[in-house]
Structure 1
């Protein structure tokens, strides 16, 4: 059993804890630290978590083998490097860091220390995403022409001005750090390197004034194209589609529970083969990613997001932020 500390016990930190506490034979949260201790004490007590006064105190605890970072985005890089110096394995929520340079430094520190470094892109672990990956890599969709992804949430309708999630330094380009970065990661996983992006991001209704409507065009090194939509002020929606010469495969619903495959015709004037539609309910991607982290720490299997993908995802995010309002494509570093 891996003894883990949770750093950050806001809504998402508590969600991560709840996904595995007393539900996993591989890891358990024993310790924690948070910036709002009074708000987290009741939850921590109920979950059997001992709260420390600081991150530094957590890192000094020899009983803690690993840390899970559910903290503001700009803190990630320094916190990863501090954990590496302390010899603690790290699972960090997305976005990995906020610049390519800091991502490279965090990876270098982790590799030098010999710790396991994992990134919280939970959608990679869903069986429907794994099936789509197999279709793409196996060539069953043919040459990929385009991918389209969209992810939306109503959270921006209720977040006030002044909290870190509406701070443009912590959360630039609207919903990119909270939503769109997941779509970028899935695109990198399935289709490889992204070489250039264009972006428009505006505020339409969010009362904080934060950008709530973000759209991105992407160009891949392979030659295919892509589009991405991230909205923070509407109903929750998820869609991820790959358009290939042999057919279109799509994942839908916020839980990724819907899957469809629509083959293209194989000859002129002939009807296309019948489409398939499937549903899978109840799969917990957070549980899956945290157990994958525990297995990686124990040397049982590598964590499925390689450091190169972590760094490239941040480089793409950095380019998207730089592209906002420029009305042209910006190259990815």
Structure 2
């Protein structure tokens, strides 16, 4: 068994790629970013020099590097499937930013490609690694919350108002349905984890306060095959808000972020259980982006299983595909 930190290539040096490089410095014993790939941007090479990272303009150069064991894809959504296929062909493990794909078929191909070569596939769903969210998932799993009935969640911000209109994040084909692929995809990931396979979804997506071609205000109402519902909102024109609440027959938990995950400032957790008073607590800051990458590195080394199951990755993208379809006309869309 190979020992030591997993040697990785960061593919994409935009806002989020640089964020991930910054947090990996706190996980040097598990993960070592040895090179980065960025075909655009005059500051990328200087950034790499400042951080002691080898710089490539071509993705193929990183894949051909024998030191690289894994790649982290922090690239536009439409590149994920092809870049993942290329990494798998080169025998590299893959950590992919969300969404894994824009269709269920694409997600299935990605999962099967990695499984066929015995490679680990990690996903940028760092919300699962936030301490209060991890505790909430555990309480749901062990029965503490009873039968899970409903999820209510909102993850919205106005960061994109300052973007140049040419930015890929404001492209309705690459990032459809308001904030769905930027933030809402995290909420559906948690809803699928809690309630299982979605049955159908109805979406309202409007453009109320911006020129964004994908709309700026969306909400989705999801029904699940085994019962239960989820309400998901992901808006692009409000001050930051992030709330995730789950309701069960024995208790409920409401988790609110104090700041965006790029600069964590902890959480306010409100909860209760049958016959008990409502409790409010403050959870100190943590670094879930780093912790997700560390979990990926441990799985690559064979020390533990990666906690996000392949089936959950596929079900989440199946729901995303249905959300995109429903947003076009507001009709209920059933999942295949």
TM bucket, shorter chain: over 0.9
Work out which of the residue numbers 163, 172, 184 in structure 2 matches 1:180: 184
Per-residue CA deviation, residues 29-79 of structure 1 (Å, 9 max, x unaligned), is: 111111314221222111111111200111011111110000000100111
Equivalent positions of 1:38-187 (< 5 A) are 38-187=42-191
- Give the corresponding residue for 2:293: 290
Alignment of 1:254-265 (within 5 A): 254=259, 255=264, 257-264=267-274
What SS does the corresponding residue of 1:180 show, helix, strand or coil? helix
Q: After superposition, where does 1:227-306 map in structure 2 within 5 Å?
A: 227-253=231-257, 254=259, 255=264, 257-264=267-274, 272-306=275-309
Taking structure 2 as the reference length, what is the TM-score of the superposition?
0.93
1:202 aligns with 2:213: no
Per-residue CA deviations over 1:209-229 (Å, capped at 9, x if unaligned) read 441101000001121111001
Distance in 2 separating the partners of 1:22 and 1:235: 29
Matched residues, number:
326
Q: 2:138, 2:27 → 1: CA distance? A: 29
RMSD: 1.4
Aligned ranges 1:207-222 → 2 under 5 Å: 207-222=211-226
Q: Would you say the 8 A contact 1:90–1:118 is kept in 2? A: yes
Uncovered stretches (5+) of structure 2, i.e. residues with no partner: none
In structure 2, how many angstroms separate the alpha carbons of the residues matched to 1:206 and 1:20? 35
Cα distance in structure 1, aligned partners of 2:248 and 2:22:
39
1:200 CA drift (Å): 0.8
Q: CA deviation at 1:23?
A: 4.2
The separation in 1 between residues aligned to 2:98 and 2:296, in whole angstroms, is: 14
Cα distance change, pair 170–221 in 1 and its aligned pair in 2 (3 A): same
SS in 1 for 2:234: strand
Deviations, residues 116-162 of structure 1 (Å, cap 9, x unaligned): 11111001111111111122122222222211010011123222322
Partner of 2:19: 15
**Alpha-carbon distance in 2 for matches of 1:247, 1:291:** 31
Pick the aligned partner of 1:24 from 28, 34, 50: 28
